[in-house]
């Protein structure tokens, strides 16, 4: 080849490359170290979430939602249950709404800590990674105390939440926040003005607001480009309209702006949680029975609500053909149950166990009317939406998930064109691709 000639060549990056997280494969067209074109192959991690959700009763789908964005599973739990509740016309108690917001924001912080820490590590700052994961560990202990699990939480229920927060839990979270604030300050000192980190992130992976909107990109990626779209503010749900918080935005939409936006959002999430602790009212954490269609009944005794049974007087029909109907209202539930009982009832009494079993067994439990509903929440990576369609049975006819990762990855090639091979690591890391959410 003559000295002045240049040739392009194709290079596979991933899925074995550690920065591709074991799933993603990039097909790069290179000229030297410059990326002429790129194509992302998202892999074959199809876990059939949507088909599982269409073959299990409504309540049984909640554990599957943990496996979408497993770094912030509590947001997934709430989003799915809110879609089912919208479809079924179920109103949840105010305290349960606050608990969903609190748990979602704690989960959002763990998501951002993981993203910033992992990206810093892949760019060579292992110290920042260790610091941020130490802070995440404090929050995981809080999540474990509230839900009984660190990652696969399954905390939300259709009609409420699994259980109330322990009396000492707010103090535990506030103490964890002290560690988070201290650690974020340390990470800020290590990275924000670090010459190497700034050179690797500023001006690389630039996403314009026009391209972001064209690809349907949301979340920190969109906000870093200067578009202040946040589902919590644009389409308020739960009690977000009662809370005071800011929506951080960037200017250039590069990797550095995405880093700064996530750091700022960590602070805003802690601000939201602290407001919720100050405002949360007392009361139930699960909704009472709702006026759902269907003839399936459960008697009060099976729910352990036997006090009213003592007041009922048996009125036997003179013809001995059975009990008269006049006492039915005092002993029979008017509608089938929708919300799973607390675990204390399930494991502590035969009535609670029977109630739990009847709700989750096939052919029983919640039966929303035929129709469809869409519910969007602000996930760790952007707008996370659940579209559920019912044909009146005890399970969905169709479930569709709008995963923010999918749209973020769709625009990845635009961010890589014209970049250097070394910039790919910083850009891909700033997207915060979560494989379980990307390839449902």
From the CB of residue 213, how many other CB atoms can be counted at a distance below 10 Å? 14
Over residues 282-311, the pLDDT tens digits come to 998 988 743 332 233 345 555 555 554 444
Q: What is the pTM of this model?
A: 0.87
pLDDT of res. 304? 56
**All structural domains of the chain:** 49-286+369-438 (1.10.645.10), 300-360 (no CATH)
Upper half-sphere CA count for residue 200 (Cβ side, 13 Å) = 25
Q: How confident is the model at residue 328 (pLDDT cuts 50, 70, 90)?
A: very low
Mean pLDDT computed over 181-199: 95
In angstroms, the CA 343 to CA 350 distance is: 12
Would the pLDDT of 364 be above 80?
Answer: no
Q: Would the CA dihedral through 238, 234, 140, 428 be positive or negative?
A: positive
Name which residue leads in pLDDT, 1 or 288.
288
In angstroms, the CA 430 to CA 195 distance is: 18
Helix-strand-coil split of the chain, %, nearest 5:
50, 10, 40
In angstroms, the CA 197 to CA 195 distance is: 6
pLDDT of res. 306? 52
Which residue, 157, 105, 129, 429, is CA-closest to 286? 157
Mean pLDDT computed over 183-207: 95
Pull the structure tokens for residue 247: 């929506």
CA dihedral 265, 266, 271, 275 (to 10 degrees): 100
Which residue, 342, 335, 193, 184, is CA-closest to 267? 184
Looking up tokens 């130490």 gives 134
Mean pLDDT computed over 56-66: 92
In angstroms, the CA 153 to CA 145 distance is: 11
Task: Tell me if 108 sits within 8 A of 265, measured CB to CB.
Answer: yes
Name beta bridge partners: 332: 299
pLDDT of res. 22? 79
Q: How confident is the model at residue 322 (pLDDT cuts 50, 70, 90)?
A: very low
Over residues 420-433, the pLDDT tens digits come to 999 999 999 999 99
Would the pLDDT of 63 be above 80?
Answer: yes
* Gap between the terminal Cα atoms of the chain: 47
Mean pLDDT computed over 72-90: 95
Upper half-sphere CA count for residue 105 (Cβ side, 13 Å) = 26
Would the pLDDT of 390 be above 70?
Answer: yes
Would the pLDDT of 175 be above 90?
Answer: yes
Task: Tell me if 349 sits within 8 A of 304, measured CB to CB.
Answer: yes
Would the pLDDT of 176 be above 90?
Answer: yes
From the CB of residue 396, how many other CB atoms can be counted at a distance below 10 Å? 26
Q: How confident is the model at residue 209 (pLDDT cuts 50, 70, 90)?
A: very high
From the CB of residue 234, how many other CB atoms can be counted at a distance below 10 Å? 12
Mean pLDDT computed over 73-87: 96
pLDDT of res. 295? 32
pLDDT of res. 302? 54
Task: Tell me if 136 sits within 8 A of 113, measured CB to CB.
Answer: yes
pLDDT of res. 422? 92
Encode burial over 51-81: b for 16+ CB neighbours within 10 A, e otherwise: ebbbebbbbbbbebbbbbbbbbbbbbbbbbb
Q: How confident is the model at residue 16 (pLDDT cuts 50, 70, 90)?
A: confident
pLDDT of res. 301? 54
Give CA angle at 370 (368, 237), nearest 5°. Answer: 60
For a pLDDT cut of 90, what percent of the chain falls above it?
70
């Amino acid at each position: 080849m003559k000295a002045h000639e240049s040739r392009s060549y194709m290079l596979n990056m991933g899925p074995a490359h550690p920065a591709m997280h074991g799933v993603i494969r990039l097909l790069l067209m290179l000229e030297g170290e410059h990326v002429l074109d790129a194509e992302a192959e998202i892999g074959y991690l199809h876990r059939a979430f949507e088909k599982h959700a269409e073959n299990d009763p409504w309540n049984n789908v909640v554990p599957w939602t943990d496996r979408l964005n497993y770094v912030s599973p509590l947001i997934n739990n709430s989003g799915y249950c809110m879609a089912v509740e919208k479809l079924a016309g179920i109103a949840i108690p105010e305290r349960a709404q606050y608990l969903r917001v609190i748990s979602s924001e704690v989960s959002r912080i763990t998501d951002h800590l993981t993203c910033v820490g992992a990206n810093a590590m892949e760019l060579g700052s292992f110290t920042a990674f260790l610091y941020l994961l130490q802070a995440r560990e404090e929050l995981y202990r809080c999540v474990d105390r509230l839900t009984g699990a660190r990652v696969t939480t399954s905390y939300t229920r259709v009609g409420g939440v699994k259980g109330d927060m322990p009396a000492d839990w707010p103090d535990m979270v506030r103490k964890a926040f002290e560690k988070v604030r201290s650690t974020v300050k340390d990470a800020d000192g290590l990275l924000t003005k670090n010459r190497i980190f700034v050179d690797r992130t500023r001006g690389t992976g630039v996403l314009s607001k026009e391209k972001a909107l064209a690809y349907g990109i949301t979340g920190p990626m969109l906000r870093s480009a200067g578009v202040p779209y946040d589902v919590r503010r644009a389409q308020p749900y739960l009690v977000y309209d009662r809370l005071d918080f800011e929506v951080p935005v960037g200017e250039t939409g590069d990797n550095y702006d995405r880093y700064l936006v996530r750091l700022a959002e960590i602070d805003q999430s802690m601000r939201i949680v602290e407001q919720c602790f100050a405002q949360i009212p007392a009361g139930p954490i699960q909704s009472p029975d709702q006026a759902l269609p269907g003839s399936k009944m459960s008697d009060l005794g099976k729910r352990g609500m036997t006090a009213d049974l003592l007041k009922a007087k048996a009125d036997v029909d003179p013809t001995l053909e059975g009990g008269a109907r006049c006492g039915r209202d005092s002993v029979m539930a008017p509608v089938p149950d929708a919300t799973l009982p607390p675990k204390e009832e399930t494991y502590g009494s035969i009535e609670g166990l029977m109630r739990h079993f009847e709700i989750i067994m096939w052919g029983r439990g919640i039966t929303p009317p035929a129709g469809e509903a869409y519910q969007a929440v602000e996930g760790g990576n952007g707008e996370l939406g659940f579209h559920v369609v019912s044909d009146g049975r005890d399970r969905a006819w169709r479930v569709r998930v709008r995963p923010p990762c999918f749209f973020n990855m769709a625009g990845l090639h635009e961010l890589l064109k014209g970049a250097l091979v070394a910039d790919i690591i910083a850009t891909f890391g700033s997207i915060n691709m979560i494989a379980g959410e990307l390839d449902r």
